[in-house]
Structure formats: structure tokens, C-alpha cells
Amino acid sequence: MSSDPKVAVVTGAGSGIGRAVSLRLAATQMRVALLGRRTPPLESLAVEIGDAARVYSVDVRDEAAVAVVFAKVASELGPLDALVANAGVSGENQPGVDDRWDEVVRTNLDGTYFCARAFERHVAEGPEPRHFVAISSCLARFPVPLHTAYSASKAGILGLVRGLALDWAERGIRVNAICPGWVDTDMARASMQAIANRTGTTYEEARRAELAQVPLGRIAEPEEIAGLVAFLLSTDGQVFTGQSLDPNGGSWMG
């Protein structure tokens, strides 16, 4: 068994869930490749983590660029032990000239797929388990108004995870999804503000109305989602593959 530090790639690492995941994995002595479109927040996070982190700028919608970056990560840090595909966009889409379908699906679903295939090409050899964790959403489980692109893209991730779990099982690669409900991130706050704008309420009123629909009545912290990722990558999570875990405060019970 190799004593070299394991290598994890985190997409959308500069903020929110991706940032929390990167910090948590670095705390478990993994080397972390921080991927994202905006370099400044990645560089700030790398300084916070220290020598275990390396910054790589990439737009996950660009399949060729993703392939180049993953090859570079493997060359500089070593074969890949884990991928956390977190990069994504949210927001409403409506029919017409401003329909965001292509932008949302290309980022959330296509981008996740491009990263999964690039990870596959540079994954470490076994027999130790390797892991692909995709961040989906509770909106893969149930719809809300004006989010057809987001729901479809996040539901597609669940199908992708189940398919890859079968394809990669013989190689010992675990493949799972996490479907968070509301998480206290900039993306969630923007979504709540959009709801407030659409309903003619204040941000705080919109927030209270949304959390009133969550049985536990609270919003998750990014660090709680990071803890679930860390669990899946730990020895305690080795029997999970093809699964979709639902840290949503009870807003969906399946």
C-alpha cells in the first residue's frame, strides 16, 4: 500500500460547498486540486490550505480544457484518488430568447460528465478504493417553479452516477451523489433573493417562507455537506456506490 498522500480534485472549489469540501479533504491529509473558473478565490483558498493545495483554472463546460487540466493535475500531483464534482449554476429559466437551458445543463450535467471521464483516464490504480462524488440537489427529487433546467440537469446527475457505479464497479471505484437541500451559500442566497423579487417580498420573508417548508426548519452549513463527502471517502463509507444521499432537513423523504 502506497504511503504517498492521496489526491483529490474538487471542482467549483472557490466558494460554498466546494470550498468547504476542499478544506475538509485537506484536513484528512489529502492533496487537493482546486478547480474553478475564477482564479482569485481559488488562490485565497490555496493560501489558507497551504502546500497541500494547487490551483487550476478551468471552465467545466469546455471538454477539451477539462481534459488538459486533469492531465496536468495527474502530472503534477500524481494519480487521482477522488473527484468531487461540485461546479454548477442555479437560477430560473423561462422559454424565449433568454432561456438559460443550455447554460445550466452544459455546466451542471455535461460538465460533471466531462470531469468524470477525465478522472477515469487518470485515476489511481487499486486495490484501495477510489471515489467520484457528484453534488446534485434536492431539486433532482421534486420540482419547483421556473427551474426546469436546474431540476433536469441535477436529475441527470443521478442517472450518470448510477450508470458509472456499474461501469466502474469492477475497478473498485465508488460513485455516489449528494442531493442537498438549502445550504447557506452565495448561490442559495441569490436564489432566495430571486424568489423575493418574483413574489414581491423581502429577502428575509422569502427565506422564512422557504425554511418553513423544511421539517427541521433550518438551512444546512457547507461544512455539513463537506462532512458527508468526507464520510463517503472514509473507510466507513466503502459499501456505498450508486447511491444518492439526501441532506435536506426532511424536505424530501424517499
Reply yes or no on whether the pLDDT at 234 is more than 60: yes
- Over residues 163-176, the mean pLDDT reads 98
Distance CA 92, CA 6 (A): 38
Mean of all residue pLDDT scores within the chain:
96
- Residue 49 is predicted with a pLDDT of 98
- Residue 1 is predicted with a pLDDT of 43
- Over residues 29-41, the mean pLDDT reads 97
Distance CA 120, CA 107 (A): 19
Q: Percentage of the chain surpassing pLDDT 90?
A: 96
Reply yes or no on whether the pLDDT at 2 is more than 70: no
- Over residues 74-102, the mean pLDDT reads 95
Asked if 35 and 8 count as a contact pair (C-beta separation under 8 A), the reply is: no
- Residue 98 is predicted with a pLDDT of 84
- Residue 165 is predicted with a pLDDT of 98
- Over residues 167-177, the mean pLDDT reads 97
- Which member of 56, 113, 150, 203 is catalytic? 150
145 or 72, which is more confident? 72
Distance CA 33, CA 56 (A): 7
Of the given ranges (156-165, 192-201, 238-247), which has the lowest mean pLDDT? 192-201
- Residue 203 is predicted with a pLDDT of 96
- Over residues 173-177, the mean pLDDT reads 98
**Kind and range of the H or E run holding 7:** strand 7-11
- Residue 130 is predicted with a pLDDT of 98
Q: Where does 7-181+221-245 sit in CATH, by number? A: 3.40.50.720
- Over residues 22-47, the mean pLDDT reads 98
- Over residues 18-27, the mean pLDDT reads 98
- Over residues 6-30, the mean pLDDT reads 98
Smallest CA-to-CA distance from 114 within 61, 163, 154, 164 is with 61
Q: Where are the domains positioned within the chain?
A: 7-181+221-245, 182-219
Smallest CA-to-CA distance from 60 within 90, 96, 104 is with 104
Reply yes or no on whether the pLDDT at 84 is more than 90: yes
Q: Percentage of the chain surpassing pLDDT 70?
A: 99
In the DSSP assignment, the letter for residue 140 is: G
Q: Give residue for cell 433546467.
A: 149
- Over residues 130-134, the mean pLDDT reads 98
In the DSSP assignment, the letter for residue 127 is: S
- Over residues 23-39, the mean pLDDT reads 97
Distance CA 234, CA 236 (A): 5
3 pLDDT band, cuts 50/70/90, is low
- Over residues 129-137, the mean pLDDT reads 98
**Kind and range of the H or E run holding 189:** helix 186-199
Size of the chain in residues: 254
In the DSSP assignment, the letter for residue 109 is: I
Distance CA 192, CA 202 (A): 9
Which grid coordinates belong to 90?
A: 442555479
Q: Is there a catalytic annotation at residue 203?
A: no
Asked if 85 and 136 count as a contact pair (C-beta separation under 8 A), the reply is: no
